[in-house]
A and B are shown apart, each in its own frame.
Chain A
Amino acid sequence: MSDDLSWATSAAIAQAVGAGAVSALNVIDDAFARIEARNPALNAFTTVTADRARRRARAIDAMRDKSKLTLAGVPFAVKNLFDIAGLPTVAGSKINRARPPAQKDSPLIERLEAAGAVLVGALNMGEYAYDFTGENIHDGPSRNPHDIARMTGGSSGGSGAAVGGGLVPLALGSDTNGSIRVPSSLCGTFGLKPTYGRLTRARSFPFVTSLDHLGPFARSTRDLALSYDAMQGYDTEDAACADRAAEPATPKLGQGLDGLRIAVAGGYFRKGASPEALAALERVAKAAGARSEIEIPEAARARAAAYVITATEGAALHLDRLRKQARDFDPAVRDRLIAGAMVPAALVVKAQNFRRWYRERVLELFNSCDAVLAPATPCTAPKIGQQTFMLDGVELPVRPNMGLYTQPISFIGLPVVAVPVPLAPLPIAVQIICAPWREDIALRIAHALEQMGAVQSPKPDL
């Protein structure tokens, strides 16, 4: 492992700590020094958990069999909608600061710590996750490590900034409509949105339970796979968590592209894409040997249905807070939620009915291919505060439209790995989309592309 811990992978840290070449406490202290130095510019962290992290690091250092821990001594942080024992789960809001402290950690934190990882803090996010920008009216915007005048993307903006900025090698975020994949694209990190129902969402603050997913950010595919494997497993506490045995992806990571049929999504997924998004897609498609183009049917309608379900379920979740504390919301979030509360129920039922129809049609596509490539975002990171951008010659608002290409995919819960293409001056990601429960294939393709040098998490000049 290099002396530069700012860019060390989780795998390298775990190997070094496991072998006793470096202490977990040394790694954690180094992470806190970096957070202290860089966070004033990036605004990724909203809380650091120094005391518990150092206690945990000392406990790992005292273990005799730490070489068995797949994430020994790996510092990680979580979007501040995950429960952390002893802290209120703020979910990017002012209102939730009055909540009582969480009694227990989220099970995903527990599972990562059981594998040897060390929680070092909580991360900035868009209010109540209703966001694609990474801006937050209460905590200030998280800032893009490749240009701090630009957005991180949201809503897991702090997760993108923390990993892309070298503060930690691993972070967790949530993805309802693209909130892992959009910041991964803008900040140049790898991101995994697993199959809906794969990872438990227990003890995390919800947004849209029909669509909510949790998943990791990392700077390598191996780190994504290691953390994903550590977090798998059924949990009765989450009604949507599938009763399914863990299917480790790490052992399959090096199987290469042989035998895989990879296609590129056309039609809707090219319309509105910037030259950078198309260049990244072309680079990844060429490296992956993706020759055929397929049409995902009714993708625009799928995105529309996801939009409706998000607005209305989000409004239902926050109805009481809207009645009593409307002025304490970010106005941009409040006005969307109030509008969502007013959408007639018949239209919401139709959106849910359509979801099932669309799922059947899209799953048919996987009879003839194993993975589909599509842009993650229509463009590279816009400027912080930028309200509109031009897509396909049309001026559109930034906030809802950054998820143009991610929403039709998470709408039916397909697993996706977002892979960063290090274009200059700003990175942009491509989605590798697979059939349900085939995270292993998406990670395997991402790993092969990474080995070829086609995708890479670019190191910012900080």
Chain B
Amino acid sequence: MPDPKLDDFIAAAARALDLPLEPQWQAAVKANLEVTLRHANLVAEFALPDEAEQAPVYKA
């Protein structure tokens, strides 16, 4: 289910970031943010040790 609170978050984030957000863009931005947050939460729920850290300059 889409989260109606996300509309409030988007409006606040747009103000905080000084991003223009025309009303006709809202639905697509929201849909994209929902997908990105779903991906982000899939990663975040994976338990990593507290010591896990990113590579400052990634080396393959």
Contact yes or no, B52 A353, CB < 8 A: yes
Contact mask for chain B residues 25-51; partner A; CB cutoff 8 A; 1 contact, 0 none: 100111011011111111110101000
A220 to chain B, nearest CB (A): 26
How far is B29's CA from A414's CA once the two chains are assembled, in angstroms? 32
Contact check, B54 vs A355: say whether CB atoms are below 8 A apart.
yes
Q: Is A343 an interface residue (CB 8 A)?
A: yes
Chain B CB within 8 A of A242 CB: yes
Q: Determine whether the beta carbon of B39 is less than 8 Å from that of A308.
A: yes
Chain A contacts for B39, CB-based, 8 A: 303-305, 307-308
- A317-335 vs B: 1/0 string, CB under 8 Å? 0010011001000011011
**Given A307-B36, A412-B60, residue A353 in contact with residue B42 (CB < 8 A):** no
A414: min CB distance to chain B, Å = 7
A97 contacts partner chain B, Cβ-Cβ < 8 Å: no
Using A331-B25, A334-B25, A335-B28 as known contacts, say yes or no to A414 and B60 having CB atoms under 8 A apart: yes
Q: Is A279 an interface residue (CB 8 A)?
A: no
Please, which residue of chain B has its CB at the minimum distance from the CB of A195?
Answer: B60
A-side interface residues, number (CB < 8 Å)? 51
Asked if B40 contacts A340 (CB within 8 A), the reply is no
A356-B18 Cα distance, complex, nearest whole Å? 33
Contact of B19 among A242, A341, A414 (CB under 8 A): A341
| CA of A354 to CA of B41, assembled, Å | 12
Count of chain B residues near A, Cβ 8 A: 35
B1 close to chain A: CB less than 8 A: no
Asked if A356 contacts B19 (CB within 8 A), the reply is no
- Cβ-Cβ contact count across A and B, 8 Å cutoff: 122
User: Are B32 and A305 interface neighbours, CB within 8 A?
Assistant: no
Q: Does A301 contact B (CB under 8 A)?
A: yes
Q: Are B43 and A308 in contact (CB under 8 A)?
A: yes
Contact, CB under 8 Å: B53 / A353: yes
A304, B40: Cβ atoms under 8 Å?
A: yes
Contact B36–A308 (Cβ < 8 Å): yes
Q: Interface code A431-443, partner B: CB below 8 Å = 1, 0 otherwise?
A: 0000011000000
B59 interfacial contact with A, CB 8 Å: yes
B13 neighbours in A (Cβ, 8 Å): 341-342
Indicate whether A232 reaches chain B with its CB closer than 8 angstroms: no
Taken residue by residue from 101 to 143, chain A's Cβ proximity to chain B (1 for < 8 Å, 0 otherwise) reads as: 0000000000000000000000000000000000000000000
* A322: contacting residue among B9, B19, B28, CB under 8 A: B19
CB nearest neighbor in A for B54: A352
Q: Chain B's nearest CB lies how many Å from the CB of A311? A: 5
CA of A77 to CA of B37, assembled, Å? 38
Let me know if A354 and B29 touch, CB within 8 A. no
Sample of 20 further A-B pairs with CB below 8 A, known A196-B59, A301-B46, A308-B43: A196-B58, A301-B42, A301-B43, A308-B36, A319-B17, A323-B19, A336-B32, A338-B29, A340-B36, A342-B9, A343-B33, A343-B36, A347-B44, A350-B40, A350-B48, A352-B55, A357-B52, A359-B60, A414-B60, A437-B60
Interface residues of A (CB under 8 A from B): 195-197, 210, 239-240, 242, 298, 300-301, 303-305, 307-308, 311, 319, 322-323, 326, 331-332, 334-336, 338-344, 346-357, 359, 400, 412-414, 436-437
- CB<8 Å pairs between A and B, sample of 26: A196-B59, A196-B60, A301-B42, A304-B40, A304-B43, A305-B43, A307-B35, A308-B36, A311-B36, A326-B20, A335-B25, A335-B29, A336-B32, A338-B25, A342-B14, A342-B33, A343-B33, A346-B44, A347-B43, A350-B40, A353-B52, A354-B43, A354-B46, A354-B52, A356-B58, A413-B58
Top 8 nearest A-B pairs (CB, nearest first) are A413-B60, A352-B54, A339-B32, A304-B39, A347-B40, A335-B28, A339-B33, A436-B60
